[in-house]
């Protein structure tokens, strides 16, 4: 048994992300106003704790494997100022851990926003609350205005991953060492740091999203799960995307990775109804000014020569509809087919969102979930 096989086996004892189901599911962006959708249509998520708790309850009732918040400190501006309201993800994860039985409870943390000694203690506390279900989604920071709220400049792209490498290495030492930890790096230095109690997991499961070479390498070296997206829907291209991560992890670091993606669902009784919903949400009510702001922050715009105008328009639609995820649209049977497709290309899990988050998830529970069970996916 390799080190990662042994780790995954240990994690599987308490963390459902490492269980045997063919299709693992989670929710995405349930801790922010508008959820994953940038639109003024009726039903987009109004951020109250009652609404967030309802989504968490639905996830628990369907034995979802994950509830994944995002880290957000400012809205997107535009017509809706999407995500302007948010619940902080560590305290969110603690509440989810205390009120659920099934899902892994995530926090999404921007490395510059919290010292690793504090983050390690918070993660351990949440892991105990949830009896070994905590997972940390590590983000190096991409939004300059948000990161500078914490009193330090946004580092150059690849340097952010070097800082994150120290951040997570120090935390792993704290989680696993029985002796006080001394650590001296370029970005973090501590003396005599000691963490008690230890986590329920040997150390919490770790996830990271990064499309760049530096981001992929960080996930392959330090994490258990890579979170990614697909540029197109061709199965061979999708498999190649996943193979990039698996090959890098194996050949450079002798490691294994699980790979998750996010998807958004527009469902109707007919294909025409599903398309009508999409047109209403995005074509008629989409927050184009907000997504333009987002793309400026991400340096994705018409000056980026890697995107044709058609590609850019499709990408904007994906971000308005579901934070850049994989589009699943059609009847309940077609939703099942698309989720089966993701399993077939090798995806380990899918984080889901709906434009009308609560009613969409309730409909999914009533109409789609039984079909997933029948198909042997759940």
Model confidence pLDDT, tens digit, residues 27-67: 999 999 999 999 999 999 999 999 999 999 999 999 999 99
Confidence (pTM)? 0.95
**In sequence order, which ranges of the chain are alpha helices (DSSP H)?**
3-11, 49-61, 89-99, 116-129, 144-147, 157-176, 213-222, 235-253, 271-278, 288-297, 309-322, 332-345, 357-363, 369-374
CATH of the domain at 312: 3.20.20.30
Taken in order 218, 223, 224, 228, is the CA torsion positive or negative? negative
Q: Which residues pair with 261 in a beta bridge?
A: 228, 350
Of 117, 301, 110, 286, the C-alpha closest to 195 is: 117
Residue with tokens 């025409």: 272
Whether 72 contacts 34, CB under 8 Å: no
Of the pLDDT bands very low, low, confident and very high (cuts 50, 70, 90), residue 296 is confident
pLDDT at 80: 97
Total domains present in the chain: 1
Of 282, 102, 364, 49, the C-alpha closest to 372 is: 364
- Quick: pLDDT tens for 238-273: 999 999 999 999 999 999 999 999 999 999 999 999
pLDDT at 301: 64
CA distance 355 to 43: 7
- The Cβ-side half-sphere exposure at 54, using a 13 Å CA radius, reads 14
Q: Which region among 42-51, 71-80, 140-149 has the lowest average model confidence (pLDDT)?
A: 140-149
Per the structure, the complete domain to which residue 55 belongs is given by: 3-374
State whether residue 43 is helix, strand or coil: coil
């Amino acid at each position: 048994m390799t080190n990662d096989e042994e780790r995954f086996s240990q994690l599987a004892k308490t963390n459902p992300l490492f269980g045997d189901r063919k299709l693992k599911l989670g929710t995405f962006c349930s801790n922010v106003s508008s959820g994953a959708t940038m639109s003024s249509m009726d039903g987009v998520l109004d951020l109250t704790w009652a609404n967030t708790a309802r989504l968490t309850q639905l996830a628990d009732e369907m034995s979802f494997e994950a509830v994944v918040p995002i880290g957000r400190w400012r809205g997107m501006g535009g017509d809706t100022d999407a995500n302007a309201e948010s619940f902080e993800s560590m305290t969110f994860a603690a509440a989810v851990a205390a009120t659920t039985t099934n899902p892994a409870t995530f926090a999404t943390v921007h490395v510059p926003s919290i010292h690793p000694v504090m983050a390690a203690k918070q993660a351990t506390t949440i892991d105990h609350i949830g009896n070994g279900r905590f997972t940390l989604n590590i983000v190096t920071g991409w939004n300059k205005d948000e990161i500078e709220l914490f009193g330090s400049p946004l580092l150059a792209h690849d340097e952010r991953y070097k800082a994150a490498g120290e951040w997570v290495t120090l935390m792993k030492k704290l989680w696993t060492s029985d002796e006080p930890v001394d650590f001296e790096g370029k970005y973090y230095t501590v003396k005599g740091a000691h963490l008690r109690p230890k986590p329920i997991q040997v150390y919490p499961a770790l996830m990271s999203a990064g499309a760049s070479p530096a981001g992929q390498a960080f996930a392959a070296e330090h994490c258990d799960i890579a979170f990614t997206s697909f540029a197109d829907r061709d199965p061979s291209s999708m498999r190649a995307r996943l193979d990039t991560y698996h090959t890098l992890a194996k050949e450079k670091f002798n490691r294994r990775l699980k790979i998750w993606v996010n998807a958004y669902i527009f469902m109707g009784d007919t294909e025409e109804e599903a398309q009508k919903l999409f047109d209403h949400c995005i074509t008629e009510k989409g927050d184009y000014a907000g997504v333009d702001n987002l793309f400026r922050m991400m340096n994705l715009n018409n000056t980026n020569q890697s995107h044709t105008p058609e590609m850019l328009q499709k990408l904007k639609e994906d971000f308005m509809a579901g934070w850049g995820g994989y589009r699943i649209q059609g009847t309940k049977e077609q939703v099942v087919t698309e989720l089966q497709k993701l399993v077939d290309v090798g995806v380990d899990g899918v984080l889901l969102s709906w434009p009308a988050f609560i009613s969409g998830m309730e409909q999914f529970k009533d109409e789609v979930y039984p079909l997933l069970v029948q198909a042997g996916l759940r």
